[in-house]
Amino acid sequence: MKNWTSCACTSGCKWIPGKSSFDPYAKDMQLSRVLLRLAALPFFLFGLASSGVQPALACEPHPDYWYTETFSVDNVALPEGVEVLASDPAVQARGTLILRNQTETLLFVLSLSYRNVLVMETPDPNWKSRVNMAHEVASYLVAPDRPAYLDMNALTDLDHNLADRNVLELNLPPPDVGIPEAQRSELLLVYGEQVIEVPFTLAYTLNADFETGLEGCEQWQMSMQSTDYANATATQQAEAYVDRAARNTALAFGLAGVAVLTIVGLLVWRGLIHRKNKSPHE
């Protein structure tokens, strides 16, 4: 008696006595791959449809300073390793005093209100108590790898007679704008047994590089296209983007529903075929 192996498929199966070259699990694996591809199809199409052009960003104007601040520090004998430098006005309009200390002795920066409290004689026989007091009331401490950057916000706190006369605006200064007068002040420093006063001058000039306000933004818009056309285009793109996003969302849900129905149909069809092939043997 010949031993014929059974095959679950209805066509395309090669029957061999005693042995079958057909793997009963191969068709299940192939069907699983098909179902996985169908399930991933809606997400692929949704990503493809959503990869459109995003709305263009508009130019956002930023204020700038009307005047360029230039600090000049008087020539004062400082301890070796201690520096008081002025920022480069060609780099930024807002000026800054930079204090560096590369020694092991701490450098204290005090408000000028303590000038009449400190013993101004150098050296002071009681300098240690002065250092302790400076440590408690100092506004800034300068040490190695710890420089101090003093802009006008910091300097007006150290000297209440200083005034911040610069103007931060979006618009260019008027043609007949006046230039603020220069200001004089000092830095009050305590270094070991020494009390050091460092005079400095702050001068103003018109900021020739004022280009980040409304004028700079208008120039940017004109280089791309006219302002009216840019605004209209941006509005249309924004509305089209919102509508497209809504359509893409509805499309994704629709495709997902079709994929689910297709998978359910294939599973039902597969169950019917298995039942049909199994019934004659029973």
Taken in order 243, 249, 253, 254, the sign of the CA dihedral is positive
Contact 158, 108 (CB under 8 A): no
Task: Please tell me the predicted confidence (pLDDT) of residue 128.
Answer: 63
Task: Please tell me the predicted confidence (pLDDT) of residue 194.
Answer: 86
Give residue 1's pLDDT band: very low, low, confident or very high (50, 70, 90).
very low
Q: Give, in order, the Cα–Cα distances in Å from 148 to each of 18, 105, 216.
A: 92, 15, 33
Q: Which of 132, 112, 135 is nearest to 196 (CA)?
A: 112
Contact 76, 85 (CB under 8 A): no
Distance between CA atoms of residues 143 and 242, nearest Å: 56
Distance between CA atoms of residues 199 and 64, nearest Å: 28
The beta strand positions in the chain, using DSSP E, are 64-65, 67-73, 82-86, 97-101, 107-110, 140-142, 148-150, 168-169, 183-191, 194-206
Reduced to 3 states (helix: H, G, I; strand: E, B; else coil), residue 67 is: strand
Distance between CA atoms of residues 179 and 173, nearest Å: 11
pLDDT of 210 above 70:
yes
Give residue 137's pLDDT band: very low, low, confident or very high (50, 70, 90).
confident
Distance between CA atoms of residues 177 and 213, nearest Å: 17
Phi–psi pair at 129, nearest 5 degrees: -65, -30
Tokens, residue 276: 């049909």
Q: What letter does residue 180 receive in the DSSP assignment?
A: P
The per-residue pLDDT for range 235-278, each reduced to its tens digit, is: 666 666 667 767 777 777 677 776 767 776 776 666 666 666 66
Distance between CA atoms of residues 155 and 110, nearest Å: 11
Q: Give, in order, the Cα–Cα distances in Å from 101 to each of 33, 145, 197.
A: 71, 8, 16
The per-residue pLDDT for range 32-89, each reduced to its tens digit, is: 566 666 666 656 655 655 555 444 456 677 888 999 999 999 999 999 999 999 999 9
Mean pLDDT of 203-227: 71
Task: Please tell me the predicted confidence (pLDDT) of residue 28.
Answer: 54
Distance between CA atoms of residues 198 and 107, nearest Å: 13
pTM as predicted: 0.54
